[in-house]
Structure 1
Amino acid sequence: MTTSPQRPLKAPLAMAVAIAIMSTSGLATADSTGDIEARLAELEQRINDAEQRARAAERRAAEAEQAMAVQRQSNETDQPARVTAQTEDLEERLAAVERQASGEEGFSFNAYARSGLLIGEGGKSIDGGPYLTPAGSVGGAVGRLGNEPDTYVETVLNYKTRYDNGAKAHYRTMIADGVETSNDWTSDESSLNVRQVYVELSDLPSFTGAFENSAIWAGKRFDRDNFDIHWLDSDFIFLAGTGAGIYDVQLTDDWKANFSVYGRSYSEYPTEDSDTGGDTDNLTFTMNNYVGNWQWMVSALSAADNEERAMDTGATAADSGFHTMLAYHGDSFFGLADGSFKAAVLHGRGLGAETKVIGGDGNLTDDATSTRLGLYGTTYLAPKWRLAPAVLAEVSEDRYAEGDEYSWATFNARLANELTSNFEMQYELSYQWMDLDPGASGTAVEGSYRKFTIAPTFKPEVGGFWKRPEIRLFASWSDWDEELNDFSDEDALGSAGFTGGEWAFGVQSEVWF
């Protein structure tokens, strides 16, 4: 800073002022001299005060400049650390927002729902569903497009948390309901149910070795690795119930395995001593193995005292069982084109003879055996044409009675033509052959069921089989061999006025997210 020059001496300044005053007045008397001296003293005091104020201002300016220099030096030293801290804070906040937005943390909501109206030729509601044929009683599903008269909804509530040590927790509740009435108020027909309630923990820092990337869970749930043929509304495998397990145990570099135990209740079944006195729990112990695209699943089942169940057929109910599945999850359309496919062979004995819903049927005999094949694929035949064929077939013996035999096979194809960005035409052809012999407990039948559906479909965006929501109109023609009506008077094909050659019309919405 530039400083002011020193002021000249005060005495000459006072003398000059005095001479100026005297020359102005033209005379000086003794009395006036005293007055002048007083005024000079006052002026000198004022000059002294001004000089002191100037020096004080100079000191304050110098101190301020020195402080600013120190601050500038401090800023240059601390700025990188402050910027780094601010950047880390912003990055952490952004990551938290992104995790919540992606569903990795916080609350999320998922759903599946379908609702539709199915009307027959006579202008009245008709029976429908993928399991309306006689083979449906043993799992034989047919194509579902234009064939569903129900309203079904699954509501899934999730809450996910990540802790400071990196561990994650996932809580899920799933509520479901399904009715076939078209009414707006359906409390009398409702089957509202809590289907899942569980907690899963993952990325636990104390897990090491083969368990380093494992997740543990307990509660009521659908197994994470269930998979299905959507067009038939049939799972390849459906493992569910209440229990506990661990996923993704890394046994070798290429081999992962899941281990679980699921309980399912067999309650209020008649025994020889009581009409409603029997109950037990089936326990399913499963090891699910993954090597590359291959999956090999083995399960052992046990239901203590289930053999006391009184069977109408006179057979002995199973109290144990075995189930296995070998599956391949392909990343092309059977190696022929771009797309995907899944294929699986399943086999079970005893309680494991219910090959899809493992442990879901307590009426199976001790000698029951079943073998099932399932496969499907998806691909584009042309830029605007996509195809999804599927096959599901099963043979079983001694299922509910000694000597019974159930054989069936379903061939289904879903075809779609994308006409605009939000409109497509869907077509489905479904054929099922069945040879069902319940033994002495019923009537043996053999024959086939056929269905063809055309469905104009609206959706927000076309492209692939998995985009929803969609709203579709449909017309379905179904026909079957008359002999199949004799299998049972309780299923759709045996009901009055439902004897083959039926048209059905309707509308349906379907959504999942």
Structure 2
Amino acid sequence: MLSPSRFPRRPLAAAIALTLALPTVAIAADKSIEERLAELEARVAASERRASQAEQRADQAEAALERQQSSPQLVQGDNTSQTVGVEEDLSAPGIPSQVRDETGDDEEQGLSMSVYARSGLLIGSDRKSAPGGPSLTPAGPSGGYVGRLGNEPDTYVETVFDYNQRYDNGSHALYRVMLADGVTTSNDWTADESDLNIRQAFVEFSDLPGFTGAFENASIWGGKRFDRDNFNIEWIDSDVVFLAGTGAGIYDISVTDGWDTSVSLYGRSFSDYPVVTREQPGLEGSTDNLILTANNRFGPWQWMVNGMSANDNDERDNDPRAGIAGDNVAENGFQTMLAYHGDSFFGLGEGTFKAALLYGHGLGGEVKNIGADGNLTDDANTARLAIFGTTYLSPNWRIAPALLAQTSRDRYADGDRYDWVTLNARLANELSENFEMQYEASYQWMDLDPAGYAYEDGDGDTQVFESVNGGYTRLTIAPTFKPQVGGFWQRPEIRVFATWSDWDEDLNSFSNDDALGSDGFTGSEWTFGTQMEVWF
């Protein structure tokens, strides 16, 4: 029977339903009272459901706007040019999360697009292309990045296409595909050097009416994607944490009123590697690393836990000089992160800040790019600290300081040590509606002892690393033009810059394969250039 209690809550819906029902009642007078009331009740329920869905969409749009205004974040971004037994790191280098994530909101049905791109020249005092990149220093391959302003010689483009669809029952579906390419040449035709790649291809369902209780606000996804809760330090183009791969998961399970959790399973493939055994020397092997992640949110707090397993990875020979594969290569591991996402500048004033402490063991010893490094030892231990924020010092001056530090033991060889600390600050003075001066200072201290570790590069050559200890300094000044100034997240912009960098001579001996110590690049270097950067 029809429940009268529904009408006081939805008077408009009830009135509409009654109006629509009258012709039907007149035409079908031969129907029983029970049948007519059942039909009327169904129409009222449908009207209520549509009204509820409209309210939910309005609430979600309002919440998205509040997030965008109060705490704009950046998605993680790395583009590593060096490798020490680790996959090349090409995580998303700098699209604001409100651009990437909010494209899936209900307001944007149909096809939409978002973009990140940068392109520029980096020229040395000899008027030739100069080495560059946030991972330039010996600490770079283990995650030790420096400031990116005036330090990027590449052209990198990524484009995200979203298709959003809302169904009659209120369900929402998002399909996303992301294309990316990066080259360092300044030529117009770069097909031979292109790294064009599909970095994401997944579908996500939300607002499912069949999900109730703790799953009422949950969404499910499947495919190849970046984890939704990755985040980075934009000014040194380094992820705090980056999880990506192919798999499936469920976001936003409401365990309690103040506790949401997300659970996902990702798979990553380790490329072919040499397997050296007494019985069958020189075999080629491969394996898949499975990552089970639980990401918990308690208000501004985030607690992430990852467990991983790569079957038979311990057969890997991660040191070509060893001759016989040892038992020290990891087959399992775990990683965890505790982070705080603040809505002020460290409680001192308006702005934003984030702080995170990470720890990993075994395969989790690569704490930033989770599950991406198959050369880690069973005994690998790594801890990482990230602190950064943004604020205005005055109406026309803004600052973004950052600290990133990491310590690692037994990473690739028994007794090795990789310790480094990066201090970075981006400062900007808004001089007019279309012009500002940007400044950046970056310093990195490192103490690296590879303990004789070597690896085989893509050309089949064995690279050996030396112990080094010292500091790297970088200073940049960059006059910047843009359609409208205002905040660190305002793009597009065009910069011209001059950069001076210097480092301790000891760092030149770390490797014969990196930029430091190469001919004409041994310290006290000037570089100049121009760069554009855009996102929308």
**2:401 aligns to what SS in structure 1?**
strand
Tell me what 2:108 maps to. Answer: 104
Tell me what 2:333 maps to. Answer: 321
CA, structure 1 residues 362+100, in 2 after alignment: closer, same or farther (shift >3 Å)? closer
1:253 lines up with 2:276 in the alignment? no
1:504 lines up with 2:527 in the alignment? yes
1:176 lines up with 2:177 in the alignment? no
Pick aligned residue for 2:405 from 393, 400, 414? 393
Provide the rounded CA distance (Å) in 2 between the counterparts of 1:382 and 1:375: 22
Tell me what 1:277 maps to. Answer: 284
Length-normalised TM-score, structure 2: 0.77
Provide the rounded CA distance (Å) in 2 between the counterparts of 1:100 and 1:386: 31
**Superposed, which structure 2 residues align to 1:23-422 within 5 Å?**
104-272=108-276, 273=280, 275=282, 277-312=284-319, 314=322, 315=326, 316-422=328-434
Q: Which structure features the higher share of helix residues? A: 1
Give the counterpart letter for 1:287 in structure 2: A
CA, structure 1 residues 305+343, in 2 after alignment: closer, same or farther (shift >3 Å)? same
Give the counterpart letter for 1:360 in structure 2: A
Pick aligned residue for 2:486 from 463, 466, 469? 463
- Whether the aligned pair in 1 keeps the contact of 2:104 and 2:162 (CA below 8 Å) is no
1:483 lines up with 2:523 in the alignment? no
**2:519 aligns to what SS in structure 1?**
coil
**1:475 aligns to what SS in structure 2?**
strand
**2:214 aligns to what SS in structure 1?**
helix
Provide the rounded CA distance (Å) in 2 between the counterparts of 1:163 and 1:102: 11
**1:277 aligns to what SS in structure 2?**
strand
Measured after TM superposition, the shift of residue 102 of structure 1 is 7.5
Identity of aligned residues (%): 65
Provide the rounded CA distance (Å) in 1 between the counterparts of 2:258 and 2:352: 22
Give the counterpart letter for 2:396 in structure 1: K
1:430 lines up with 2:442 in the alignment? yes
- Whether the aligned pair in 1 keeps the contact of 2:404 and 2:421 (CA below 8 Å) is yes
- Whether the aligned pair in 1 keeps the contact of 2:474 and 2:502 (CA below 8 Å) is yes
- Whether the aligned pair in 2 keeps the contact of 1:413 and 1:428 (CA below 8 Å) is yes
Give the counterpart letter for 1:422 in structure 2: N
- Whether the aligned pair in 1 keeps the contact of 2:104 and 2:174 (CA below 8 Å) is no
- Whether the aligned pair in 2 keeps the contact of 1:100 and 1:106 (CA below 8 Å) is no
Measured after TM superposition, the shift of residue 276 of structure 1 is 5.3
CA, structure 1 residues 206+102, in 2 after alignment: closer, same or farther (shift >3 Å)? closer
**1:378 aligns to what SS in structure 2?**
strand
Give the counterpart letter for 2:475 in structure 1: F
**2:349 aligns to what SS in structure 1?**
coil
Tell me what 1:9 maps to. Answer: none
Measured after TM superposition, the shift of residue 494 of structure 1 is 2.9
1:407-457 deviations in whole A, cap 9, x for unaligned? 000000000000001110000000000000000233110000000000000
- Whether the aligned pair in 1 keeps the contact of 2:106 and 2:172 (CA below 8 Å) is no
- Whether the aligned pair in 2 keeps the contact of 1:115 and 1:509 (CA below 8 Å) is yes
Measured after TM superposition, the shift of residue 101 of structure 1 is 10
Provide the rounded CA distance (Å) in 2 between the counterparts of 1:267 and 1:301: 17
Measured after TM superposition, the shift of residue 274 of structure 1 is 5.2
Provide the rounded CA distance (Å) in 1 between the counterparts of 2:379 and 2:104: 52
1:363-410 deviations in whole A, cap 9, x for unaligned? 001110000000101000000000000010000000000000000000
- Whether the aligned pair in 1 keeps the contact of 2:226 and 2:244 (CA below 8 Å) is yes
1:296-321 deviations in whole A, cap 9, x for unaligned? 00110100000000121645210000
1:453 lines up with 2:465 in the alignment? no
For structure 2, list consecutive stretches of 5 or more residues without a partner in the other structure. 1-15, 21-46, 62-102, 454-464
**1:112 aligns to what SS in structure 2?**
strand
Give the counterpart letter for 2:289 in structure 1: N
Provide the rounded CA distance (Å) in 2 between the counterparts of 1:81 and 1:114: 58
**1:154 aligns to what SS in structure 2?**
strand
CA, structure 1 residues 100+288, in 2 after alignment: closer, same or farther (shift >3 Å)? closer
For structure 1, list consecutive stretches of 5 or more residues without a partner in the other structure. 1-77, 83-87
Measured after TM superposition, the shift of residue 267 of structure 1 is 2.3
Give the counterpart letter for 2:303 in structure 1: W
Provide the rounded CA distance (Å) in 2 between the counterparts of 1:214 and 1:232: 33
Two-structure CA RMSD over aligned residues (Å)? 2.2
**1:414 aligns to what SS in structure 2?**
strand
Give the counterpart letter for 2:249 in structure 1: G
Give the counterpart letter for 2:149 in structure 1: L
CA, structure 1 residues 253+102, in 2 after alignment: closer, same or farther (shift >3 Å)? closer
**2:139 aligns to what SS in structure 1?**
helix
Q: Over alpha carbons, which structure has the higher Rg?
A: 1
CA, structure 1 residues 320+419, in 2 after alignment: closer, same or farther (shift >3 Å)? same
- Whether the aligned pair in 1 keeps the contact of 2:205 and 2:220 (CA below 8 Å) is yes
1:272-307 deviations in whole A, cap 9, x for unaligned? 135452111001100000001100001101000000
Provide the rounded CA distance (Å) in 2 between the counterparts of 1:274 and 1:155: 44
Length-normalised TM-score, structure 1: 0.80
CA, structure 1 residues 105+274, in 2 after alignment: closer, same or farther (shift >3 Å)? farther
- Whether the aligned pair in 2 keeps the contact of 1:103 and 1:160 (CA below 8 Å) is no
**1:429 aligns to what SS in structure 2?**
strand
**Superposed, which structure 2 residues align to 1:9-20 within 5 Å?**
none
